[in-house]
Structure 1
Amino acid sequence: MADNAKWYVAHTYSGYENTVAASIEKAVENRGMHELIHEVNIPMETVTEITDNGPKTVERKVFPGYVLVKMVMTDETWHLVRNVRGVTGFVGSGNKAIPLTDEEIAALGVEKREIVVGYQVGDSVKITDGALESFLGTVEEIDLDRSKVRVVVSMFGRETPVELELDQVEPVNR
């Protein structure tokens, strides 16, 4: 059943996101529906605001008025989430909730996917995707938090640093 779980977006009254998330989690706990509703998430971002007293770091909601729910969509789970106080409905057409795509989930950063990197700083790599496909270069920096790698490529007799996704390069077999 866990393989069928997808991320859905529940629309809430503005300012009720935390209450709705807590209510859904409590209802799941009370009804023992852990295998059907896996996770409730409110995407947050850390922002530095400049005030009269200087810079201040605050967390704010990326999508005010929305709560993400990873669940297996059944009549029972639909009614559980839909009938939580503060929920106005699911994002979709009519009464049909539409799940988020894998690309949308990755862009939101809701689920962390572990990427195994088979190279390290100083290794020779081949670019496998993008405008510089099949170019060879040397890894200068790996940024796992941003899923980026900086590779120095020799173009037109010059060393040029290029920033790529971690999966756009592969180690050169020696």
Structure 2
Amino acid sequence: MGELKWYVVRSVSGQEKKAKNYLETELGRHNLTELVPQVLIPVEKVFEMRNGKKRVRERNLYPGYIIIHADLGHGEVDHIITSTPGVIGFLGDKDKKDAANNKPVPLHISEVNRILGIVDEAEQQTTATLDKPYVVGELVKVVDGPFNGFSGNVDEVFEERKKLNVVVKIFGRSQPVELSYTQVEKEV
């Protein structure tokens, strides 16, 4: 067995998961999983408020790209990867000789560490990032907690704590209330 290196595979944008599944199936069918032990789609978790409900979804960090850990010393492996439905080909550096010979160019270890670091952080992160952050002066509606149903304006945003100070009218008086991102949604 040769050396395992990280490569970037281009795929049809929006179909990365399908291409990854096809790729894993084909590699398993040809008994090549030890030559390609990892196929990754770098994603981050974001939450958004829809109809008063908090929804967590995954967003691709690099749309149209799949990261693979592979030993391409066998000619069969790169052919199977590039002939998989949804896969366009390998990403190469035009300035390098290997790319001119149409051979895949591996990622530098610093790039791999950065990408894997982002993926690990996203998996460990319990609170996801907000898809569309709040801004001061924006009108929001409280959807959770004791002030459910009240509307108010954002007075302060605490991005690091994922909290807001919202000024709501209670019995005709303006009152500042600290709420988490999950307790409010943007007024349309």
TM category, shorter? 0.5 to 0.7
Q: Deviations over 1:50-109 (max 9, x none)?
A: 445265322111111111111001321110100001111100035221111111111112
Contact 2:46 2:57 in 1 (8 A): yes
Identity between Structure 1 and Structure 2 (%): 30
Moved more, 74-83 or 52-61: 52-61
Equivalent position of 1:82 in the other structure: 82
Q: Which runs of 4 or more aligned residues in structure 1 lie more than 4 Å from their structure 2 counterparts after TM superposition?
A: 110-113
Equivalent position of 1:28 in the other structure: 27
TM-score, scaled to structure 1:
0.58
State the alpha-carbon separation in 1 of the partners of residues 118 and 56 from structure 2: 24
* Greater Rg over alpha carbons, structure: 2
Quick check: 1:108 aligned with 2:115? Answer: yes
TM-score, scaled to structure 2:
0.54
Equivalent position of 2:37 in the other structure: 38
Contact 1:105 1:111 in 2 (8 A): no
Give the aligned length.
Answer: 114
Contact 2:48 2:56 in 1 (8 A): yes
Q: Deviations over 1:113-171 (max 9, x none)?
A: 9xxxxxxxxxxxxxxxxxxxxxxxxxxxxxxx69xxxxxxxxxxxxxxxxxxxxxxxxx
Structure 1 residues 111 and 61, CA gap change in structure 2 (3 angstroms): closer
State the alpha-carbon separation in 2 of the partners of residues 107 and 68 from structure 1: 12
Map 1:1-174 onto structure 2 (within 5 A).
1=1, 4-51=3-50, 53=52, 55-74=54-73, 75-92=75-92, 93-94=99-100, 95-109=102-116
Q: Deviations over 1:2-36 (max 9, x none)?
A: 6x111111101112111111111111111111221
Structure 1 residues 11 and 112, CA gap change in structure 2 (3 angstroms): closer
State the alpha-carbon separation in 1 of the partners of residues 39 and 52 from structure 2: 35
Contact 2:44 2:119 in 1 (8 A): no
Structure 1 residues 7 and 111, CA gap change in structure 2 (3 angstroms): farther
Contact 2:43 2:119 in 1 (8 A): no
Secondary structure at the residue paired with 2:32?
A: coil
Secondary structure at the residue paired with 2:37?
A: strand
Structure 2 unpaired stretches of 5+: 93-98, 126-188
Structure 1 unpaired stretches of 5+: 114-144, 147-174
State the alpha-carbon separation in 1 of the partners of residues 5 and 21 from structure 2: 19
